[in-house]
């Protein structure tokens, strides 16, 4: 998908009274998906600052928090090595994995608004290509980067002494939770991009949401170790559910305290409600994103 082809299509659209021609795509949905998947991965490789930045920050958090606050935090977990022998490295690692998902998902909206500012968004819309495949290819490329980055964090955590009690399958499950967790923020960052159409505003908005939400969740300390008002906020904080789901897989035990569920048994008392909340968020925010993208797409080709 070259820029020259995009320019030609855009010129044809303007020549046709300002409306895009409805030429059907000669490619299959899979082909259109693959072209966009490759395009967004190449774009990330050519601008590695965003990708590396979204990984470096969580790594700094992981190393500094475990080294500076590890001893104090381990005492907060139960003292003398933590409840049930849980170290702070093991407790913190799921939170850092979810932080990676948040930081990488924020890049989705930044990439979209960058396309808008460069005029590439309008060019791709007038091409004979499935719009669903375009947006799904973009999202899949972002999910791939999130999976790779979470895997790096899990390996680093193991080097620092963290232990995944559920083994390899648990690590794979944490990757799955990371994907499910990232989708709602991918949608939200794209919503901010469409609404603001400004890269700086999208970055500021994403960061303003990330850090307050992280610190008023169960990411860094157990719920009962935090002030009462933070416990209330944490109950309605999406990050709490992503972190608790990943932590249940990490520790092989029910860790959710914001919602008391006992009917499923073991870690499923955490996983089932957490996954239900995350799925609901993905569907709602994803629906809003698709609506706004369709509206922006229609106006962009008029």
Mind listing the pLDDT tens digit for each residue in 240-284?
A: 999 999 999 999 989 888 888 888 888 999 999 999 999 999 999
DSSP state of 100: H
pLDDT band at 177 (very low <50, low <70, confident <90, very high): very high
Q: For residue 19, is it within any domain?
A: no
Q: For residue 251, is it within any domain?
A: yes
pTM, entire model? 0.79
- Residue 260: predicted pLDDT: 82
pLDDT at 302 over 80: no
Q: For residue 4, is it within any domain?
A: no
Give the residue numbers spanning the domain of 140. 26-300
- Residue 4: predicted pLDDT: 46
Q: For residue 117, is it within any domain?
A: yes
Q: For residue 10, is it within any domain?
A: no
Q: For residue 198, is it within any domain?
A: yes
Q: For residue 113, is it within any domain?
A: yes
DSSP string, 242-295: HHHHHHHHHHTS----SS---SS-TTHHHHHHHHHHHHHHHHHHHHHHHHHHHH
Q: What is the mean pLDDT of residues 6-32?
A: 54
Give me the number of domains the chain comprises.
1
Mapped onto helix, strand or coil, the DSSP state of residue 28 is coil
Judge whether 82 and 88 are in contact, CB under 8 Å. Answer: yes
- Residue 270: predicted pLDDT: 93
All residues at 6 or more sequence positions from 235 whose CB lies less than 8 Å from its CB, including other chains: 258, 259
Mind listing the pLDDT tens digit for each residue in 193-227?
A: 888 888 888 888 888 888 888 889 988 878 887 88
Mind listing the pLDDT tens digit for each residue in 115-161?
A: 787 777 777 767 777 777 888 888 898 899 889 889 988 988 888 88
Q: For residue 192, is it within any domain?
A: yes
pLDDT at 8 over 50: no
């Amino acid at each position: 998908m070259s820029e020259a082809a995009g320019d030609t299509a855009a010129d044809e659209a303007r020549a046709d009274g300002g409306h895009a021609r409805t030429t059907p795509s000669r490619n299959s949905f899979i082909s259109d998906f693959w072209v966009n998947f490759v395009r967004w991965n190449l774009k990330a490789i050519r601008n590695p600052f965003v990708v590396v930045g979204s990984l470096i920050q969580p790594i700094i958090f992981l190393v500094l928090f475990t080294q500076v606050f590890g001893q104090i935090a381990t005492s907060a977990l139960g003292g003398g090595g933590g409840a049930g022998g849980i170290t702070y490295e093991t407790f913190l690692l799921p939170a850092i994995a979810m932080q990676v998902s948040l930081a990488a998902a924020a890049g989705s909206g930044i990439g979209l608004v960058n396309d808008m500012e460069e005029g590439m968004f309008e060019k791709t819309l007038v091409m004979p290509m499935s719009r669903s495949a375009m947006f799904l290819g973009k999202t899949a490329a972002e999910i791939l980067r999130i999976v790779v980055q979470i895997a790096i964090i899990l390996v680093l955590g193991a080097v620092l002494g963290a232990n995944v009690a559920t083994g390899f399958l648990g690590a794979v499950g944490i990757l799955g939770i990371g994907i499910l967790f990232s989708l709602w923020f991918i949608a939200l960052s794209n919503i901010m991009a469409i609404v603001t159409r400004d890269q700086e505003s999208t970055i500021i908005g994403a960061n303003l949401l990330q850090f307050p939400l992280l610190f008023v969740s169960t990411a860094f300390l157990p719920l009962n170790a935090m002030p009462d008002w933070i416990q209330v906020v944490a109950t309605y904080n999406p990050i709490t559910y992503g972190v608790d789901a990943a932590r249940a897989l990490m520790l092989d035990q029910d860790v959710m305290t914001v919602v008391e569920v006992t009917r499923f048994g073991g870690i499923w008392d955490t996983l089932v409600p957490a996954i239900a909340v995350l799925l609901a968020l993905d569907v709602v925010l994803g629906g809003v994103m698709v609506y706004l993208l369709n509206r922006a797409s229609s106006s962009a080709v008029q």
